[in-house]
Amino acid sequence: MKSSWKFFVAIAVVFVVLQCVRPGIPSKPATAEIEVPAQIHRILESDCYACHSDQPRLAWFDEIQPGYWLVRKDILTARGHLDFSTLGSKPAAAQKATLYEAVNMIQLGAMPLSRFVALHPQAAVSPGDLAALKTYLSPWAPLPAPSVAAGGSGFPALSAEAPPIRLEGVSAEWNGVAFDPSFESWKPLSFTDRGDNNTFRFILGNDIAVQAAESGRISPWPDGTRFAKIAWQQQPGSDGLVYPGNFVQVELMTKDSKKYATTDGWGWGRWRGVDLKPYGSDARFANECTGCHEPVKGNDYVYTPPITSAPSTLKEAVNNRAAALSATLPYQPLRWTPITMFVDARTRTMSTLYGNENAVKSLHARSASPAAPVYDPGAVLALATWAQRDDPHWFGGRIPDIPVSVEFVTVRAQNALAYRRFDGPNLAEAHPSSASIGQRTSFLVGLKPASLP
Ligand code: HEC
Ligand code: HEC
C-alpha cells in the first residue's frame, strides 16, 4: 500500500512541475483582419480563431499540461498555414481563395481538427453556418461580359500569344520534381469548371493512370501514375458560351510511394505562366499541395473522379455517369485528345471537343496558330456535351454529369465534312435539318484549340 501511495505523490509532483514548464503562445492584436461581413467573421471567430488567429482563446482545461503542449503545437502549426489576423493584407482574390479552401476543409470534415471539436463541441461548424459561408462566396456569379466584340465564330479575343517555349528546357520544381514535357500527349481523365477562381481545367493521365482508371485500381494508384492538370482563365465569348482564355499553369503529380513517402507518396510540381516558371521559392511549396489534398486522403490524395465505366466501391471515386456513352456510337471519343472545352451557363452543360489522332496531327502540323484550325482528311472531331453537376469533393467546382449529346464531324477526301449527332438519354441518332447541320459543322470545325505553352 505504501509504495502505491508514494507513486501517486510522485505523479502529483510531476503534474505540478509540468504546469510550470510552459512555453508561451505569442499573442498580439490583429494587424490585418480578413475582410468579410460581420456574420462571416463571427463564424470564423467562434470556430477557427482558437488556432488560426494571433489571439488564441484557450478554454481553462486547455491550460492544463500535458494537453497544453498539444494545443500549443496545433496553434503554432495552424498559424503557419493560415492566420486570419493577417490575411487582410493579401489581395481580395487571395482572401477569397482561402475562404474557399476553408469551406472545403469544413465540408470534407478536416476542419476544425476533430480532436479539438471532441473537447470543444461549440467549435463544430453548424450546417447553417456552413450554408452562410457558401452563400457569401457564391461561386457562380456571372462573369463580366466580353469587353471586345470577338470575331465571327464567338472565340474570345485573346491577348497576343507568346512564342512557344522549348518544353525540354523547363526547370525542375524546388523539391526536385522534374517537369515532364510529354504531358500534352497524355489522355483525358476529366474536366472541371471552377467557379471559385474562374478557371477551366483538363485533368490528363499517363498510360499507367489510364489503365488504372479503366480497371478501377485507383486507391491506391499504382507507382508510375502521373497526372497533369492544365488550367486556363475562363473567357466569355460573344456567343454567350464561356471558353478557355489565357493559359494559367500546369501541375503534375507523380506517384512513387517510396521516393515521395514524405509528401503522401506523390511528387508535386506546378509551373506557372506561358514560360512555365517553377512555383514557390523553396521546397516548402509542396506543403500547400499536400495540405489541400489531405481531405481526399481516402482517395489516395486524388480529387478527380476519372471519367471511366470501371466499377469502384469507393464513394465518388470514379465518374461512371459521365462515361455512359452508348456502345452504338460510331466512335468512342473519351480517350481521344481534348482540344478545347466550353460551358453553356444557360443550359448548365459543359462540352469537350475531342480529336482523333489525325485531327491532332493536323493541328500540330500547323502549330503556327492560324485564325481557324484546318483538319486533314481522316480527321474526326467529337463534341461531347454533359449536364454539369457540383464537384462532390470541392465546393466551387463543377464536373461532367450524364451525357446530353455527342456530335461528330468527319473530314473526308477533298475536305468534304460529314456531320452526325446523337442526343437524349440513350444518345439516339438525331436527324437535324440541313441548316442546323451546316451551322453545327462550322461551329465544331471552327473551335479554337485551348492555348498551350
Ligand atoms: C485545434 C486547432 C485548429 C482549429 C480550431 C482549426 N484549425 Fe485549421 N488547421 C489546424 C492545423 C494544425 C492545420 C495544419 C494542418 C496540417 O498541416 O496537417 C490547419 C490547417 C488549415 C487549413 C489549411 C491551410 C493551408 O494553407 O495549408 C485550412 C484552410 C484550415 N485549417 C481552415 C480552418 C477553418 C475554416 C477552421 C474553423 C472552421 C479551422 N481551420 C479550425 C488547426 C486548427
Ligand atoms: C486550395 C486547394 C488546392 C491546392 C493548394 C492544391 N490543389 Fe491540386 N487540386 C485541388 C482540387 C480541388 C483538384 C480537383 C481538380 C480541380 O477542380 O481543379 C485538384 C487536382 C489536382 C491534380 C489532378 C489530380 C487530382 O488530384 O485530382 C493535380 C495534378 C494537382 N491538383 C496538383 C497540385 C499541386 C502540384 C499542388 C501544389 C503546387 C496542388 N495541386 C495544390 C485543390 C488544390
Report the chain (453 residues): mean pLDDT per 10 consecutive residues.
78 78 82 93 94 88 84 92 94 93 92 92 94 92 52 39 80 97 96 95 98 94 98 95 96 98 98 95 94 92 96 90 94 96 96 97 72 86 97 96 98 93 95 97 95 90
The x, y and z cell numbers of residue 356, run together, are 482523333
Q: Which ligand is nearest to the CA of 70?
A: 1
The x, y and z cell numbers of residue 278, run together, are 517553377
As a whole number of Å, the CA-based R_g of the chain is 26
- pLDDT of res. 160: 47
Residue 361, amino acid: K
Q: Whose CA is nearest to atom 19 of ligand 1?
A: 78
Q: Which ligand is nearest to the CA of 260?
A: 2
- pLDDT of res. 2: 66
Are 382 and 406 a contacting pair, CB within 8 Å? yes
- pLDDT of res. 355: 97
Residue 66, amino acid: P
Ligand 1 midpoint to CA 81 (Å):
7
Distance CA 409, CA 412 (A): 10
Is 289 close to ligand 2, i.e. is its CB under 6 Å away? yes
Ligand 2 midpoint to CA 154 (Å):
30
Q: Whose CA is nearest to atom 17 of ligand 1?
A: 291
Q: Count the neighbouring beta carbons within 10 Å of the beta carbon of residue 167.
A: 17
- pLDDT of res. 6: 87
Only one residue has cell 481563395, namely 97
Q: What percent of the chain has pLDDT over 90?
A: 75
- pLDDT of res. 148: 42
Q: Whose CA is nearest to atom 14 of ligand 2?
A: 303
Distance CA 228, CA 443 (A): 28
Q: Whose CA is nearest to atom 9 of ligand 1?
A: 78
Longest dimension (CA), the chain: 104
Q: Whose CA is nearest to atom 2 of ligand 1?
A: 51
Nearest to 165 by CA among 282, 281, 250: 250
Q: Whose CA is nearest to atom 28 of ligand 2?
A: 229
Cα angle 381-382-387, degrees, rounded to a multiple of 5: 155
Distance CA 412, CA 347 (A): 32
Ligand 1 midpoint to CA 263 (Å):
18
Ligand 2 midpoint to CA 242 (Å):
22
Ligand 2 atom closest to Cα of 231?
Answer: 18
Ligand 2 midpoint to CA 268 (Å):
10
Distance CA 438, CA 446 (A): 12
- pLDDT of res. 11: 82
Mutation pick for ligand 1 pocket among 42, 47, 48 (CB with most ligand atoms within 8 Å): 48
> Which residues surround ligand 1 with Cβ inside 6 Å?
47-48, 50-52, 74, 77-78, 81-82, 101-102, 105-106, 111-113, 116, 123, 125, 288, 291
Distance CA 381, CA 356 (A): 7
Q: Whose CA is nearest to atom 3 of ligand 2?
A: 292
Q: How far is CA 22 from CA 15, 191, 288, in A?
A: 12, 51, 30
Ligand 2 midpoint to CA 46 (Å):
29
- pLDDT of res. 368: 58
Q: Which ligand is nearest to the CA of 289?
A: 2
The x, y and z cell numbers of residue 142, run together, are 456571372
Q: Which ligand is nearest to the CA of 248?
A: 2
Distance of CA 41 to the CA centre of its chain: 26
- pLDDT of res. 189: 98
The x, y and z cell numbers of residue 268, run together, are 508535386
289's CB contacts (< 8 A; 6+ apart) are 263, 268, 270
Q: Whose CA is nearest to atom 17 of ligand 2?
A: 192
